[in-house]
Structure 1
């Protein structure tokens, strides 16, 4: 090995859309608090246990806002999440049929191989349900006793506890050992663990940030696709033949894009004490106009996918055949007045963590990852390679044994102790360049609009259901522009918040026949519910077509569709 080091940016993206109905204040889906209990908790734990390890995290503002909301609910003991409300209910004998339906519809939603099958008592609850499910279709909920519902609620939440909680928390250990016939006191004890975990999530990351062990970046507030808000036709930069929505453009989209970015920086400053130096644009979606906007808002760096860089080099007629010749360095994009440094994801290594290593023994996976980095360093010539491994920091782990505990533990140990690998952050790289310890970023004169998935926007636009969703949003935005000015200041603020929620990327992600039908249905319903709420807040009757599904799904996407590979 040479004396120079490989600089590794390990970057975990944490994101959930807003699952609240902003009219009722109730949570419609539970994924924010479940991922907090399992993944956000575990991911902090591994860095707390290895002070020599360094990484970057991206926290989307609307996720952080929900985490703060859940922490407040736990302090007040007044749950607006229906599942937590039921877990706390002293009388499960007299809950409504709708609440019974919610329990059985929700409490088996987990990766069965890793999160249900290891627990015999949880398996038994599933088998009992499968026996009576045909009867329950006729509304005969009395076949499930209050005790069954209590046990199912407890096991669902136990299955969603992080591995660090299972190893350290006596209450969780006691409940898992007991296994059945859970009492109200047992449920209250579990709620105590959930409450403590939710209240401590953000302080734990703030403590890691204060120690300088991590960098925390942000994303435009509600996770919108900035290039598409600015110009729907940017789709065709990477997909020249893609069908587009009937709407020619998203009305006043540039202003909306600026609003999301400015709101994100204000919220990040409020939460973490200073503005974010960098951003992960939602879905790594970039265009020259979007990156210029970020630079104008004072963002120093951004990150996106390897496919975007390859497409950009192709667009500029520059060499792009060999990854090692172009990928492992940052690039500068300029609008002539402001610059922004862009980092590009190593799709191969990132997708190995997201999709492949869960099938291997932890030691084998870590050895393969480290060996891959060593190989990059070996073939880097005189240059110092900067490798960016970027992926979902929450959805991958349920496919790993023990929520990825051994993989992450051994990965951090191997990387932090490696003589030729330096764990860094994106801002570290900028600091080294400013100190002339690294060469300046190479100029990229233009960038091909695209995302981290395939280097295109195909996951969010260009397919009939996705285009239909854009047309519904454009229609609602036109009504917003026409009517919002007549409202009071308070009503305007609520409408603006509701509009921003509808602009998020997640709704478009789920539309399409290749996705799981159950997931498509829940996100389809919530998207149309959000659009209907916007009309109602504007004082308008929602259009009748918002009662019709946009997409039915029915496919079997890898990892239940919660993640994608960067390359096909």
Structure 2
């Protein structure tokens, strides 16, 4: 074995779309705060506990704003008993469970939304409650015989199973409630909200503190997570998929102006929370094109990143296939921003396979792959493992606690593997940046945009977006909106432009998730029409997509390579 070393970047992307009804302020789905108390606090705790660890942590700005909102709401409840605007959190602290049968049935359905094997079955007391809930949901007339204590206990347990493993191991309040197991009181339920408040109020600062110490690099996406290449040029989808069916919308009107708005707003939001400007950008869904990279350079970004298949498509188009490796940094002649590309194979091993392995075996296997890369590569390699930072861990035992602990420890002490960040790599004397003659537009998923466009339902979503954008442009041009109204409408338009809605459209996704996100999308569009002073089109009252599929990991994650 040679002694060649390898530089490794672990990049965790933290991202949730806008779940609020921006007119009422109510959170329609609870995933932001649930992922805070489980995944964002666990990841930062692992990084804090491993002095030799380094990582890039990327935040979507619209997620940061929602975390702040939740923190303020919980504080307002605890200090002044101001009602919280998340129905699940509010139900947790109601003095007695609502007697409304429909509300009780909805709570039972909501409290089933967790990984059955790793979260529910881990705790026999909760498993028993869920088994009872399953029977009740199959015999809905029985809900009138369900007492308030049952609803209270299932709500408490649901929040306990969503607590991060590092919280369960260190917070005596959570330890006591897990041990108690049943007959939870209002005091117990308020105590859980106190824990949630502590986690929400500190989580962003904990990442900021690690960044100040040089332990992690923080980066950003455009404000509301839009697919920038498609906004710039819908036809860019054809660069990787020549035969793709596109929406009726010939192009997204004013797309470049909107991309720049998202970038400007994203940088300002990042600066508000972290106190400095980011050097790097994970473009939403790793979506890049030549024009996208050029604009990122104009905004001062030193680096961006995308999927390995984007590089493979680009090398083939440049007659360079097989002549260079994904484990390098690249720069287009037409852009100043350096682009890194994800090792899809290694990233997918963590996302889809290692949850089934013993943690030590999984980490040993990953290290063996990295050693093989170091031995094989002609140039000193820079390996980029880029992953969703929240959705994988519920499939691991104990929320990935054993895997992540072993991962950071073993990598930190390995003599041939150096954990680094993208900016640190570029500032180092050993940095090598390869020229890339051409970039084929695509994303980290398969190197194409097929997850967001091309399907009939996804294309319908784009046509709806085009309609509301035209209405927005007309309202601005007519001068019927004040400056304050225009700004509210621009932010609401940004919410509509987010990538997540299109991700979930299509019958290959699970029915419940498709329904949730499709309803939210129609609500977002409806709210924008009303901000513009217009009556929403009738079609927004009707569902336009439904799912019946059963994809891996519930559809919340994709592989970089098609199977």
TM-score over 0.5 for the pair: yes
1:385 is the counterpart of 2:381: yes
1:368 is the counterpart of 2:365: yes
Q: What's 2:273 paired with?
A: 271
Question: Contact 2:136–2:143 (CA<8 Å) still a contact in 1?
Answer: no
- Pairwise CA distance, 1:71: 1.1
Q: Distance in 1 between matches of 2:311 and 2:194?
A: 47
Q: What's 1:416 paired with?
A: 412
Question: Contact 2:105–2:137 (CA<8 Å) still a contact in 1?
Answer: no
Q: Map Cα deviations across residues 274-306 of structure 1 (whole Å, 9 max, x no partner).
A: 111000000000000111111111111000000
Question: Contact 1:132–1:143 (CA<8 Å) still a contact in 2?
Answer: no
Question: Contact 1:58–1:216 (CA<8 Å) still a contact in 2?
Answer: yes
Question: Contact 1:450–1:456 (CA<8 Å) still a contact in 2?
Answer: yes
- Pairwise CA distance, 1:102: 2.9
- Pairwise CA distance, 1:175: 0.6
> What is the DSSP-based 3-state SS (H/G/I as helix, E as strand, rest coil) of the residue aligned with 2:394?
helix
Question: Contact 1:334–1:340 (CA<8 Å) still a contact in 2?
Answer: no
Q: What's 1:72 paired with?
A: 72
Q: What's 2:207 paired with?
A: 205
Using a 3 Å threshold, how does the CA distance of structure 1 residues 135 and 437 change in structure 2: closer, same or farther? Answer: closer
1:159 is the counterpart of 2:168: no
Q: Map Cα deviations across residues 229-286 of structure 1 (whole Å, 9 max, x no partner).
A: 0010000000000000001011101100000011111111221111110000000000
Q: What's 1:516 paired with?
A: 510
Q: Distance in 2 between matches of 1:257 and 1:274?
A: 21
- Pairwise CA distance, 1:550: 2.0
> What is the DSSP-based 3-state SS (H/G/I as helix, E as strand, rest coil) of the residue aligned with 2:130?
helix
- Pairwise CA distance, 1:4: 3.8
Q: What's 1:504 paired with?
A: 498
Q: Distance in 1 between matches of 2:26 and 2:349?
A: 37
Q: Distance in 1 between matches of 2:255 and 2:434?
A: 30
Consecutive unaligned residues in structure 1, runs of 5 or more: none
Q: What's 2:350 paired with?
A: 353
1:329 is the counterpart of 2:328: yes
Q: What's 1:91 paired with?
A: 96
1:469 is the counterpart of 2:461: yes
The correspondence for 1:129, drawn from 127, 130, 133, is 133
> What is the DSSP-based 3-state SS (H/G/I as helix, E as strand, rest coil) of the residue aligned with 1:486?
coil
Q: Distance in 2 between matches of 1:16 and 1:471?
A: 23
> What is the DSSP-based 3-state SS (H/G/I as helix, E as strand, rest coil) of the residue aligned with 2:266?
helix
Question: Contact 1:515–1:554 (CA<8 Å) still a contact in 2?
Answer: yes
Superposition TM-score, scaled by structure 2 size: 0.97
The correspondence for 2:195, drawn from 171, 193, 205, is 193
Q: Map Cα deviations across residues 108-140 of structure 1 (whole Å, 9 max, x no partner).
A: 10010100011111111112122222442x5x6
Q: Distance in 1 between matches of 2:8 and 2:406?
A: 16
- Pairwise CA distance, 1:497: 1.0
1:7 is the counterpart of 2:1: no
1:342 is the counterpart of 2:351: no
Superposed counterparts of 1:215-364, under 5 Å? 215-320=217-322, 325-335=324-334, 338-364=335-361
Question: Contact 2:101–2:144 (CA<8 Å) still a contact in 1?
Answer: no
Q: What's 2:431 paired with?
A: 438
Q: Distance in 2 between matches of 1:425 and 1:275?
A: 16
1:57 is the counterpart of 2:61: no
- Pairwise CA distance, 1:75: 1.5
Question: Contact 1:517–1:552 (CA<8 Å) still a contact in 2?
Answer: yes
1:532 is the counterpart of 2:526: yes
> What is the DSSP-based 3-state SS (H/G/I as helix, E as strand, rest coil) of the residue aligned with 1:326?
coil
Superposed counterparts of 1:13-52, under 5 Å? 13-52=13-52
> What is the DSSP-based 3-state SS (H/G/I as helix, E as strand, rest coil) of the residue aligned with 1:244?
coil
- Pairwise CA distance, 1:143: 2.3
Q: What's 2:115 paired with?
A: 111
The number of residues matched between the two structures is 555
Q: Distance in 2 between matches of 1:130 and 1:230?
A: 47
> What is the DSSP-based 3-state SS (H/G/I as helix, E as strand, rest coil) of the residue aligned with 2:57?
strand
Q: Map Cα deviations across residues 85-122 of structure 1 (whole Å, 9 max, x no partner).
A: 11111122x45444323311211100101000111111
- Pairwise CA distance, 1:3: 4.2
Q: Aligned Cα RMSD in Å?
A: 1.2
Q: What's 2:443 paired with?
A: 451
- Pairwise CA distance, 1:365: 0.2
Consecutive unaligned residues in structure 2, runs of 5 or more: none
Question: Contact 1:279–1:303 (CA<8 Å) still a contact in 2?
Answer: yes
Q: Map Cα deviations across residues 142-168 of structure 1 (whole Å, 9 max, x no partner).
A: 222110110011010001000001110
